[in-house]
Structures are given as structure tokens and as C-alpha cells.
Structure 1
Amino acid sequence: MPELIFPLDSTKKFTDQAKIGHNRWHPEIPPVATVRPGDSFRVHCREWFDGAIHNDDSAEDVRDAPLTTVHALSGPFAVEGAEPGDLLVVDILDLGPIPQEDSGPLAGQGWGYTGIFPTKNGGGFLTEQFPDAYKAIWDFSGQVATSRHVPAVSFTGIVHPGLMGTAPSAELLAKWNARESALRATDPNRVPPLSLPPEPQDAVLGSVPASDFDRIAGEAARTAPPRENGGNQDIKNLTQGSRVFYPVFVPGANLSLGDLHFSQGDGEITFCGAIEMGGFVDLRVEVIKDGMRKYGVQENAIFMPGRIAPQYSDWLAFSGVSVTLDGEQRYLDSQLAYQRACLHAIDYLTTFGYRPEQAYLLLGAAPIEGRLSGVVDIPNSCATVYLPTAIFDFDVRPSASGPAKIKQTATTPHATFG
């Protein structure tokens, strides 16, 4: 086993560990450990809410989830010799739920969860149709996930870190804050907001000195979106065997990671759409000197997907075009087209007896594939959702006999604001 350089004790909060991670991006957060090019090492990761979501039949924890605390990130890890302008090469050697802990109160101890976040607390891809909070608990058996809240399905997970990236430079951080502030200013009262400003409340900044804490907390960027450094990209194919090339913006690169998922559909459409969990990741790092200039990788990460993925061969695909539910034509709006494809899939699954929220939770958690199928045929973009048929315990394909009806065994946890 590679050397464990960031351990987590499951009996302690993320902020009470021997080594403290962080939940904001800032170039002055000191590294918790230093590795050399060619090193392999193991990192423990806490579920993104640090245990705030529970294995129960209530969705009040999702409704009230403390968004100012996320994401609980392991790191930063400095890489000897890495300098701005280099590319950091990160190989994902292995990863999984919390080792040797198959039961317990933390997500990753034999279970995980998917949440539909309410519009007033984060929202999601289909928040206009699903404004309330819902939750599904998933149990792990090897690589397979099943849920008491979404009956008659089981599927093989594709484990991956939802978030991994390098630290921004001071200049890049300032650019993020300026452009996201300008976006918020276009509709400052929007719910959910157009972007998240720096938030000192609940900021975790590793070993930043007390004398600098308030200043850094007031500048540091939230970890919610993907950016030039990688970050919260939520790419389900960043799994075992993947090789990722990250731009380096600060000396040492300062790599951080977290937000582990047992499984996810393309888009993580419910916002907390993956099966969230804590666990471990084994990594190896290398450095390509002057790689950003050599390969034209200035403001994005590139990657080679892993070869470990569920082997599904039969799919039922749903299409959508860029026309709103009330009939308004939009010009080549691919996001709208994908929303409509997802809604068509949800409508279809309800004919078998699934409630709409169950179908939505399933599309977020199962290894669906989302595709931009047409982006040039004015005025309509076409997007498609591919649903693997083998995940169902019954034949989900259309037939002359009509849709089978599932047996509902539990109520999906649901919570609203009082």
C-alpha cells in the first residue's frame, strides 16, 4: 500500500484531525505534506459535508445542509520542483470507500447518499420542477449499489473524486472573484444565486496563521464550481487508471482533492446527484516542465479516462431539444436540451410506478451517459440521455404488453421549508 500522507480518523470531525485540510481555494493555504515526482501516496477523504447527512429516512438534513462548510478537501500537497507554467501529472491508482469500515454513521462506511437540494439551499439542474429536498440512501455490496428509497434497481458504481485541482495564483484568484462578482451583479437577488462570493463563515484554511486568517478567509474562493485549476468538475470517468494533467499556478502546485463519489450519472444533475461518500485515493504524481506552454494548456485540465467502468451494453436513450416547457424557442441552448432529455426520461420512468423524485435521484446516481447530439441545426440543439437497461430488475423497454409496475417498498425522504 502507498504511504498514507493524509489520514482521517472516522471518530473525529474534519477540523479535529491531526492534519487539517481546507474548504476554500487560496494560494496562501500551506501544504500539509510534500511529495516528490514519481511518488505514490494514499490520501483519506471525508464526504463533502463532513458527516452532516445521515443514514436515515428523513430529508431534513439535505434541506438544511450547511453549504458554507463545503467542500471538505484533503491537502494541499506540494510537489517538489513544480513551478508555475508546469503541468502536474496525476495518476489515480486506486480509490474506494472508507477502508475496513463497512458500517457506521459516516457516508463511505458501507453506504452513501444522493440528495435533491431545495431551490432555497443550492437547487439543482431541474430545480424549477423539483424545488423541495429529497434524499436516497444507497447501500454498497462490493461495487454494486442498491437503495431502499429507489426500488427495483442495482448498478455497478464508477468510483471517482468529484473534486481535484491545483491552487490558484493570487492573480488567478482575483480574476475568479472579479468575474463571478460581475455575474452576480446582473441578478443579485436570484435564488439560487448566480455564483457564490467568498464566505468567511465556516472557512477551513488548514494551517493558515491566525494573523492572516481573516484576510485570507475574505479573499478565498468557494469550491463549488470547476475553474481553470480543475476543481469541482464532477467527471465520472476520472476513475481508477485515469491520468490528469493540471496547470500549475503556484510553486509546488499544491494539489487538493475530495468529494468522492461511489457512482454518478453525467452532469450530477440533482446538485448532490452522485452517491456521496468518504474514502481513500491512491495517487502518483509527475511534473512536465514548461508543460503549459508546450501543450497549450493554459486554463484547463486535460485527462485520459480510466479503463475501469461498468460494462453496460444496452441502453434506452431519451432526446430533448432547446424548447422550454411552455413552448418558448431558444437558440441552440444545449443545457436546456439536456434538461428536456432528463425530464423525458423521468416522465418515462413514472409509467412503471416510480415517483418523479425517485426517477430524478436515479438519473443523478446511476451511470447514465449524457451527450450533446446536435449543436449546429438552428434553432434547436439536441441532447440525449442514455439509460443502461440492465440496472433494472425488470424490462424497461417499450413493448406491446405495456409497462410493468414496480412494488413501492418505502417512501422517499422529503422535506420542505416550513
Structure 2
Amino acid sequence: MPEVLFRLDPTRKFTEQEKIGHNRWHPDIPPVATVRPGQSFRVHCREWFDGWMRNDDSADDIRDAPLSRVHCLSGPFAVEGADPGDLLVVDILDVGPMEEDSGPLAGMGWGYTGIFHKRNGGGFLTDEFPDAYKAIWDFRGQKATSRHIPGVTFTGMIHSGLMGTAPSADLLAKWNEREAALIARDPHRVPPLALPPEPRDAILGTLSGEDFERVANEAARTAPPRENGGNQDIKNLTKGTRAFYPVYVPGAKFSVGDLHFSQGDGEITFCGAIEMGGYIDFHMDLIKDGMRKYGVSENTIFLPGNTDPQYCQWLAFSGISVTEEGEQRYLDSQLAYKRACLHAIEYLTKFGYTGEQIYLLLGAAPIEGRFSGVVDIPNSCATIYIPTEIFDFDVRPTAGGTTRVDAGRGAPKSSF
């Protein structure tokens, strides 16, 4: 096993550990350790809410989730010899749930998926599903099942939702300027258009005093993906992945977190993956001047992992860029993907599930999402592919009609 460079004690909160990580992006957050090019090491990760969510049949924890605390990131790790303009080569050697197979923290034999309330984060379909819901998933090896969505079993694609390098001061200023301009378009929107710097609940490694106050007021939230990678939520960043991250500051300052047992493309419920804590093993290397050599001035490129579940039969749903009210939009691929998701939800509720159960399932199961047509004016076409083998019954259309399943107790709900 590689040396553990960031160890987490499950009995202590994220801010009480021997080494303190962070939950904001800023170039001045000190590294927790330094690694050499060519070195392999292990990192423990806490699930993104640091144990806030509970393995129970209530969605109150989802409803009341303190978004100002996320994400709990392990790092940053400085890489010897890394200079701005380099590419950081990150190999994921292994990734998995926490080593304890049962306990109170997500990753100890279980994980969760949540539909966030529209007034507290929302989601891709927040207008159609404005209330808070939760599904608990139990792990058995690589398989996931849920008491809240019966009749479904699937193999997880364990991956990290969030990895990235620290921004430079100039890049951070650019983020804050452009996101502030976006917020100014509709400052009272629910959910908001973007999340500005928020000193409350900031975790900034070992910074203290005036340095902490300054950085807390400048640092960017970790919710969106940005040029440094960040919260991309790409389900293919699994074991066997090689990713190439732009380096913006000396040492690169690489961080990781937000591990997922499984996820569908888009993580559409916002907390759409099966969230968990666990471990991830890395091997680091550098390509000097790689950003210029390969034209990678922003955002990561990667070679996907090789541990995808082997599903061979799929039921696909399509959508176009026309609203439910019949309004024509011009090549709106986001709307087309939304309509494809809604078509899948409407179809699968005919088997006895609630819409919320299927919404949760589409976020958690390894569905494939694709922009299938983006040039044929005026309509974009998007599709989602659902593996039929994940269901305990046949979900394909037949002349005999649908099979009605016992949807069980359903997904727990909480409203404001």
C-alpha cells in the first residue's frame, strides 16, 4: 500500500484532524505535504459534508445541509519542481470506500443520494422537484442497492468528483469578477446564479489571523468546475485514469475530494452521485512546459479509467430543445438533456415508482448522457442511456404492458 500522506480519523471532524484540508480555492492555502515526481501515495477523503448526512429514513439532513461548509478537500499537495505552465500528470492507481465496512460515516458500507431543496442548492430539475429527498445505498462489494428504490442493483463506478490545482491570484480574480457579474444579473434568484466568496465556515488549512481573514474573503467556492479542473463530477475518473492538470502556481498545489461510489452523467440532482468517504491512491509526474506544448491552457484532459461496469443492453430516451409548454428554443442542448431526463422519469414511473425515486436513480446509477445533435437548427437533441440490467424486471416496452413493482416506502421527503 502506498504511504498515507493525508490520514483521516473517522472519530474526529475534518477540522480536528492532524492535518487540516480546505474547502475553498486560493493560491495562498499552505500545502499539507510535498511529493516528488514519480512518487505514489494514498489520500483519505471525507465525504463532501463531513458526516452531516445520516443513514436514516429522513431527508431533514438534506433539507438543512450547510452548503457553506463544502467541499471537504484533502490537500493541497505540493509537487517538487512544478512551475506555472507545466502539466501535472495524475494517475489514479486505486480508489474505494472507507476501510471500515460499517459505521456512521458515508463510505462505511453505505452512501447517499439527495435531491436538494430549491431554496438550498436546487438541482437540474429543481422546478419539477423542488423539495428535499434522500436515498440511502448499501454497498456489497462493487454493488449498490437501496431500501428507498427497490428493484434496482448496479455496479458502481467509484471515482473522485473533484480534483484540481490551485488557481493563480490572477485566475482567482478572474473567477470572482465574472461570477459576480453573473450574480448581478439576478441577485435574488433562487437558487442563485453563482456562489460568491463566503468567509463563514471557510476551512483554509493552517492559515490563521489576518492571513485567514484575507484569504477567506477572496477564496472561491468549490461548487463549480473551472479552469483548474475542480468539481467536474466526471464519472469516468476511475481507477486507471491518467489526467493532465494545468499548473498555475509554484508546486501546483493539487487537492482531491468528493468521492462517489457511483454516478450518472450530469449528477443531475446536484447531490446526484452516491456520496461517500474513502481513499484514493495517486502517482504524480510532470510534463515541463506542457501547457504550451499541448495547447492545454485551461481545463483538464484525461485518459479514462478501465474499470467501467460491463453493461450491454440499454434503453435510451431523447429530448429536444422545446419547453414543456411548447416554446421553441434555439439549439439549447441543456434544455434537450433536461427533456430527455423528464421523458425517462415519466416512462419509469409507469412501473410503479415515484418521480422522485427515478430522479434519484438517474443521478446515482451509471447512466450515459450524450449531446446527440447540436447543429440541426432550431433543435438540439440530447439522449440518456439507462442500462436495462440494473432492474430486477424487464423495463423494455412490450405488447403485454408494464410490470408493476412494489416501490416500497419511497424516498424520504422534507419540505421547508
* Fold shared per TM-score above 0.5: yes
Aligned to 2:185: 186
Give the drift of 1:299.
Answer: 1.1
Query: Aligned partner of 2:3: which letter?
Result: E
Stretches of 4+ aligned residues off by more than 4 angstroms: none
Q: What is the RMSD of the two structures over their aligned residues, measured on CA atoms?
A: 0.5
- Counterpart of 1:13? 13
Cα deviation 1:10-47 (Å, max 9, x = unaligned): 00000000000000000000000000000000000000
Q: TM-score, normalised by structure 1?
A: 0.99
Equivalent position of 2:59 in the other structure: 59
**1:173-211 CA deviation, whole Å, 9 max, x = no partner?**
000000000001111110000000000000000011323
Hey, what does 1:71 align to over in structure 2?
71
Aligned to 2:377: 378
Q: Which amino acid aligns with 2:58?
A: S
Structure 1: how far apart are the matches of 2:406 and 2:187?
A: 45
List aligned pairs for 1:224-373, cutoff 5 A: 224-373=223-372
d(CA) in 1 for partners of 2:255, 2:346:
39
Letter in 1 for 2:342: L
Q: Would you say the 8 A contact 2:340–2:383 is kept in 1?
A: yes
The one-letter code matched in structure 1 to 2:171 is L
Rounded to whole Å, the distance in 2 between the matches of 1:210 and 1:39 is 34
Query: Do the aligned residues in 1 keep the contact of 2:357 with 2:410 (CA within 8 Å)?
Result: no
1:199 partnered with 2:237: no
Gaps of 5+ in 2: none
Question: Percent identity over the alignment?
Answer: 75
* Match runs of 1:401-416 below 5 Å: 401-416=400-415
| Pairwise CA distance, 1:411 | 2.9
Instruction: Tell me which residue corresponds to 1:390.
Output: 389
Kindly provide the amino acid, as one letter, of the partner of residue 263 in structure 2. Answer: Q
- Structure-2 separation of matches of 1:196 and 1:42: 31
Q: Secondary structure at the match of 2:273?
A: strand
Instruction: Name the SS for the 1:212 alignment partner.
Output: helix
Give the counterpart letter for 2:47 in structure 1: E
Residues 142-196 of structure 1: per-residue CA shift (max 9 Å, x gap): 0000000001000000000000000000000000000000001111110000000
Code of the aligned partner of 1:341:
A
* Distance in 1 (alpha carbons) for counterparts of 2:220 and 2:91: 26
Look up the SS of the partner of 1:384 in the other structure: strand
Q: Counterparts of 2:70 and 2:209 in 1: how far apart (Å)?
A: 21
Give the TM-score of the pair, scaled to structure 2.
1.00
Q: For residue 260 of structure 1, report the CA deviation from its aligned partner.
A: 0.2
Contact 2:133–2:356 at 8 Å: present in 1 too? yes
Tell me the distance in 2 between the aligned counterparts of 1:20 and 1:63.
27
Whole-Å Cα distance in 2 between the matches of residues 75 and 410 of structure 1?
Answer: 40
Contact 2:150–2:408 at 8 Å: present in 1 too?
yes
| Aligned residue pair count | 416
Match of residue 97 from structure 2: 97
SS at match of 1:120: coil
Cα distance between partner residues in 2 of 1:305 and 1:188? 38
User: Aligned equivalents of 2:357 and 2:225: distance in 1?
Assistant: 27
The whole-number CA distance in structure 2 between the counterparts of 1:412 and 1:85 is: 47
Q: Residue 164 of structure 1 corresponds to which residue in structure 2?
A: 163
Match of 1:114 in 2: 113
Task: Give me the whole-angstrom Cα distance separating, in 2, the residues matched to 1:210 and 1:256.
Answer: 23
How many angstroms apart in 2 are the aligned matches of 1:60 and 1:299?
Answer: 39
- The aligned amino acid for 2:73 is L
| 1:408 CA drift (Å) | 2.4
